[in-house]
Structure 1
Amino acid sequence: MTTDKRRQFSSQVVDGISKAPGRAMLRAVGFSDEDFKKPQIGIASTWSNLTPCNMHIDGLAREASRGADEAGGKGVIFNTITVSDGIANGTEGMKYSLVSREVIADSIETAAGCEGFDGLVAIGGCDKNMPGCIIGLARLNRPSVFVYGGTILPGKNHTDIISVFEAVGAHARGTMTLKEVKDVEDTAIPGPGSCGGMYTANTMASAIEALGMSLPGSSAQNAVSDSKMADCRAASAAVLDLLERDIKPRDIMTREAFDNAITVVIALGGSTNAVLHLLAMAHACGVELALEDFTEIGKRVPLLADLRPSGRFMMSELVEIGGIQPLMKMLLDAGLLHGGCMTVTGKTLAENLAKVAPYPDGQEIIRPLSNPIKKDSHLRILYGNLAPTGSVAKITGKEGTKFTGTARVFHSEEEALDRILDGAVVAGDVLVIRYEGPKGGPGMREMLSPTSAITGKGLGKEVALITDGRFSGGSHGFVVGHITPEAAEGGPIALVESGDKITIDADENLITLHVDEEEMDRRRAAWVPMPPRYSRGVLAKYAHTVSSASLGAVTDKF
């Protein structure tokens, strides 16, 4: 491809006297005459000092910009936002978390669309950064590579952020002193990087690598490492190569590529948030993807990774044995991945994996296909009279596959958490937390504080929790989220009363409210919608535009 063709967008400020004002603006930020002849590579940074997940990304962005310059382009760094789920969980602030995915996507699209970058590198660290970046890149459809900021190292005594949440429950149970809780708090987060288990950040990084949008190995690197710095430089060089080859994000993110991403998420025991985010990413690509596809793929893909939250190991330990590349090679050889999918290397997935060595002998993190932790998916899409348009459960089988209990209804996360911590919640309860959906919350908060408190209280196998909200990747136990239609839209979850019987059946993929239709009709007739919780600002706008969780909770499905 000629240089002029490579400058398809940035040439708007290069040629002709009429472009002098644009050139003048760029000279002020450091452009030379020679720079105007180069493709401009936008470096979308999610740096912020408000979370360890992103505190180092400014350095990664500078490295990516240097990589672009060294490869013959001109790197231009710009920022978008991040929020911290770990800080916001359990508070009103968590309502902004899922909203941030849309803000990130919108801001990347806006900045790159306005400035006319020819290609992009996007660097994400915390949970919503990754799908937000990919959605933005998909909308723009200019040659792009995603870089994951990398995982955090373990804290003292093999702890992480979920250890802190669970310590709160353990203290309420009386099995941990305040001094012990403080020690966990002080030492669980030792430095930069995303939460250390197969929580949402590591789940989505792995999904994006399987999707073909990051370089091989990017999803399994420590945040502070030479390999991560090299990943940033190589990503920018890869964008320039993609420009030469005219390979764009939507050429890579095909339906088969999304199948690959789902397959890897299942094998790794990934977060329920992957369902929500992959649906949204597919929507941005114009790819048809539905809840049922997770069920169909899940029938043939086993759970192989013994990773937190339900397993023993952390992402940094998976990094030590080779990351996800050997797992993907294993899945490819078994016919479970589409090897012909194009990737940001300019090669197919099969070509990228051709020389990948297997995991070392004796490792216990990734099981062989012949000896899975679970023979099919832990991500269960449940339907029934309580979730007519679907819900999402994360059930590894360690807590069993079926639960029947008595409903205990709450209209917010805070109400439920108070009753868990004061001992009112007992074995056999099914906690129903409603009006926490995309519209009703608004923002679909994660129920990490309640699920961690349940685990910390020793009730993980004895209490279930269902919600029209969602869950952190750190949640585990008998939990069902994304119940649709949500309560704010008059879905059946709005009609549940304390004392009702509820059955969760992960074998038959059913969630059943044991109330007859005549009684449900009576309740439906008496139901009155809750007034909107916000009338102005971003949360009000989000509630007005957001779609069902079963459609990815996107805000541009018109």
Structure 2
Amino acid sequence: MSEGRKPQRPLRSNLPRGSYLGAVRAAQWLNLGIAEDDLDKPKIAIVNSSSELASCFSHLDGIAAELKQAIRAAGALPFEIRTAAPSDFITGVGARGAYMLAARDLVTNDIEVAVEGAQLDGMVCLASCDKTVPGQLMAAARLNIPTIVVACGYQPSGEYRGEHVDIEDVFVGAMHTLTGKLPVDDLIGMSRNAIRGPGVCSGLGTANSMHMVSEALGMSLPGSTPIAANSDRMFAYVRAAGKRIVQMVLDDLKPRDILTPDAFANAVMTVLAVGGSINTVKHMQAVATEGQIDVDVYGLFERYASQIPVLTAVRPVGHDTIEQLEAAGGGRAVMKRLEPWLKPGALTVTGASVADNLRDALVTDDEVVRTPERAFARQPAIVLVRGNLAPQAGIVKFGIAPDKQRSFSGRALCYSTSDAAIKAIQDGTIQPGAVVVMRGAGVCGGPAMGGGASRVVFALDGAGLSDKVAMLTDGHLSGLVCKGIVVAEVAPEAATGGPLALVEDGDTIEIDLDRRTCDLHVDEAERQRRRAVWQRPAPVNDTGWLKIYRANVGSMPQGAVLTGDKASAAPGTAEDGSPSSSARSIHGGEA
């Protein structure tokens, strides 16, 4: 659309000039320096989570400025709006980390208030750290106005004592220091060198995984993920998105036209092919729930796990770097390799299909993005398990090492906080053969999955126990976690009376990744006895935003969104361990 061209269809942002609302908003915008002749142009929200608190967001203002120019050049009006800016390594300090996941839904609602309240015509979302990407995709699915998600890139890493060091190494190193494996001075040295510029964590953790999910869903321009922050390539995609969003508004190409069941299948296959973050499971399900799209993302992971080989070995599942993946062709190259399995007709933000977008795609390094015949692994790097301990599912990020043990049976040691579990590691209470149960860290109990389960995993690794014990938790794990057999996001969670709440020290627990099972070997009569005397734990961090979150969060199978069925349940469960219909309640301060 050239400068000054009139839109070919009515825009919801254009109110009658003589009306009350039309007149008062014109008065506001004219005072901001917008020319009166521009008031009828498409109005595009630039969704920006800029913040000086974290490297993840520190470069977004410069990107927004470039994007504004591109949108104006395409004949539209850009309006920059701000949202919460959650960064796990910064926001995770307060309330045992509960603000991290809770901020995802806050981002979604921030966007709704600004964009839907002003009735803007389209959005370009500047995606950065873990929770901004799903929060923005959830808003796009909810509002259903033309949207493009722009990945704003990964940060450059550094070296320490001649070895590569990034934020993952610092995270792992911090827990190794607690267990005496790493000197404090080395940890401090690593932290001084791990991050060399703005952007998200440089491994294939949740942020880069979700950037690639957005492209695989068709919500980002093809070839744009992963990408180095502030690179010439990134800015080229920023400008292309600014131009493209205007045409999308004119064409009325909306997220629910793109976010079809086929699109989610493509995204799930892409995550499996790269061994991405387990957090993509709940985030994709949340997007589907917000868009009222009939998709079982958990079921898609289970269906495709045995079909899709692991084609890349990027940190943390392997030793390749995110820079190598980008140079090899990135997400587009991975999808090119997956063409025999992909749903080729799925529509994308380009207005073309996945098949069209992949027609000229190239893989420039066969060792980084392998052919299916030369896959790094045939067994899935992400495994969903079910059983009487996880009737609604638990998730394991297992990695690709061929000689790793794939089953475990041991006696339970139960902890209700990460601090208690770490103390037990330090004093030698946790020994080889144990199954560490860390509970009370789910969406209600944490709340918002705060609780530091990842700290326990890395502490076990620091103590040399990661391949000698197993772990179960209803909390979530950092996308950088890939250590041993760790079943995370066990649902229903313990705080709502899920089966994990009934485990006692000394119980036998068996996990089998080949059979995809996770079971407690306690007879049904004893489980019923424990269920009858179980009492809901007192809520923690039960004030302010976190109290609102706990009172309204939906269940994990719905993606733990604030608009779904309530995750809480009163004592009492069905025979399969899931909450019975009589046990469901809105818990508020009682959770």
The 2-side partners of 1:397 and 1:206 are apart by: 20
Give the direction of change, closer, same or farther, for the CA distance of 1:283–1:507 in structure 2 (3 Å limit).
Answer: same
2:571 paired residue number: none
Please state how far the C-alpha of 1:188 moved relative to its aligned partner.
0.9
Please state how far the C-alpha of 1:293 moved relative to its aligned partner.
2.1
- Counterpart of 1:317 (choices 315, 324, 342) is 324
Give the direction of change, closer, same or farther, for the CA distance of 1:53–1:422 in structure 2 (3 Å limit).
Answer: farther
**Residues 39-188 of structure 1 correspond to what in structure 2 (within 5 A)?**
39-89=42-92, 92-156=95-159, 157-188=163-194
**Residues 191-340 of structure 1 correspond to what in structure 2 (within 5 A)?**
191-290=197-296, 291-332=298-339, 335-340=340-345
1:373 paired residue number: 376
Please state how far the C-alpha of 1:88 moved relative to its aligned partner.
4.3
TM-score normalised to structure 1 length: 0.95
Please state how far the C-alpha of 1:453 moved relative to its aligned partner.
1.8
Cα shift readout 1:160-189 (whole Å, capped 9, x = no counterpart) = 111012212333444422221111111112
In structure 2, the residue corresponding to 1:41 is in which secondary structure? strand
The gaps in structure 1 that reach 5 residues or longer are none
Cα shift readout 1:105-162 (whole Å, capped 9, x = no counterpart) = 0111110001121111011211000000011111111111001111111221321111
Please state how far the C-alpha of 1:528 moved relative to its aligned partner.
1.0
- Say if 2:439 is the partner of 1:434: yes
1:424 counterpart letter in structure 2: T
Give the direction of change, closer, same or farther, for the CA distance of 1:18–1:371 in structure 2 (3 Å limit).
Answer: closer
Please state how far the C-alpha of 1:233 moved relative to its aligned partner.
1.4
Cα pair 1:308 1:314 within 8 Å, conserved = yes
- Counterpart of 1:531 (choices 538, 541, 545) is 538
1:428 counterpart letter in structure 2: G
1:351 counterpart letter in structure 2: D
Deviates more, 1:264-273 or 1:28-37: 28-37
Cα pair 1:6 1:39 within 8 Å, conserved = no
2:14 counterpart letter in structure 1: S
In structure 1, the residue corresponding to 2:386 is in which secondary structure? strand
The 1-side partners of 2:458 and 2:503 are apart by: 24
Cα pair 1:292 1:381 within 8 Å, conserved = no
Give the direction of change, closer, same or farther, for the CA distance of 1:93–1:223 in structure 2 (3 Å limit).
Answer: farther
The 1-side partners of 2:463 and 2:40 are apart by: 63
In structure 1, the residue corresponding to 2:330 is in which secondary structure? coil
Cα pair 2:49 2:126 within 8 Å, conserved = yes
The 2-side partners of 1:92 and 1:466 are apart by: 22
Cα pair 2:204 2:479 within 8 Å, conserved = yes
Cα pair 1:89 1:448 within 8 Å, conserved = no
Give the direction of change, closer, same or farther, for the CA distance of 1:464–1:281 in structure 2 (3 Å limit).
Answer: same
- Counterpart of 2:38 (choices 35, 39, 52) is 35
Please state how far the C-alpha of 1:4 moved relative to its aligned partner.
4.6
Tell me how large the CA RMSD over aligned residues is: 1.8
The 2-side partners of 1:421 and 1:81 are apart by: 37
The 1-side partners of 2:164 and 2:10 are apart by: 49
Cα pair 1:90 1:447 within 8 Å, conserved = no
Give the direction of change, closer, same or farther, for the CA distance of 1:535–1:325 in structure 2 (3 Å limit).
Answer: closer
The 2-side partners of 1:464 and 1:17 are apart by: 64
| RCO comparison, higher one (Cα < 8 Å, 6+) | 1
Cα pair 1:152 1:316 within 8 Å, conserved = no
Cα pair 2:148 2:349 within 8 Å, conserved = yes
Cα pair 1:160 1:188 within 8 Å, conserved = yes
1:443 paired residue number: 448
1:72 counterpart letter in structure 2: G
- Counterpart of 1:548 (choices 551, 555, 580) is 555
The 2-side partners of 1:37 and 1:288 are apart by: 36
- Say if 2:532 is the partner of 1:522: no
The 2-side partners of 1:467 and 1:410 are apart by: 10
Please state how far the C-alpha of 1:463 moved relative to its aligned partner.
2.0
Cα pair 1:404 1:502 within 8 Å, conserved = yes
2:482 counterpart letter in structure 1: H
The gaps in structure 2 that reach 5 residues or longer are 566-591
2:289 counterpart letter in structure 1: H
Cα pair 2:222 2:357 within 8 Å, conserved = yes
**Residues 480-519 of structure 1 correspond to what in structure 2 (within 5 A)?**
480-519=487-526
Cα pair 2:142 2:291 within 8 Å, conserved = yes
Cα pair 2:410 2:434 within 8 Å, conserved = yes
Please state how far the C-alpha of 1:396 moved relative to its aligned partner.
2.5
1:412 paired residue number: 417
The 1-side partners of 2:409 and 2:428 are apart by: 20
Please state how far the C-alpha of 1:90 moved relative to its aligned partner.
6.9
Please state how far the C-alpha of 1:328 moved relative to its aligned partner.
0.8
1:80 counterpart letter in structure 2: T
Matched-pair identity in %: 36
In structure 2, the residue corresponding to 1:261 is in which secondary structure? helix
The 1-side partners of 2:387 and 2:20 are apart by: 66
The 2-side partners of 1:13 and 1:434 are apart by: 56
Cα pair 2:41 2:75 within 8 Å, conserved = yes
Please state how far the C-alpha of 1:210 moved relative to its aligned partner.
0.4
2:588 paired residue number: none
Cα pair 2:60 2:126 within 8 Å, conserved = yes
Cα pair 1:192 1:223 within 8 Å, conserved = yes
The 2-side partners of 1:8 and 1:463 are apart by: 59
1:351 paired residue number: 356
Cα pair 2:318 2:400 within 8 Å, conserved = no
Deviates more, 1:531-540 or 1:52-61: 531-540
The 2-side partners of 1:314 and 1:283 are apart by: 33
Give the direction of change, closer, same or farther, for the CA distance of 1:435–1:225 in structure 2 (3 Å limit).
Answer: same
1:390 counterpart letter in structure 2: A
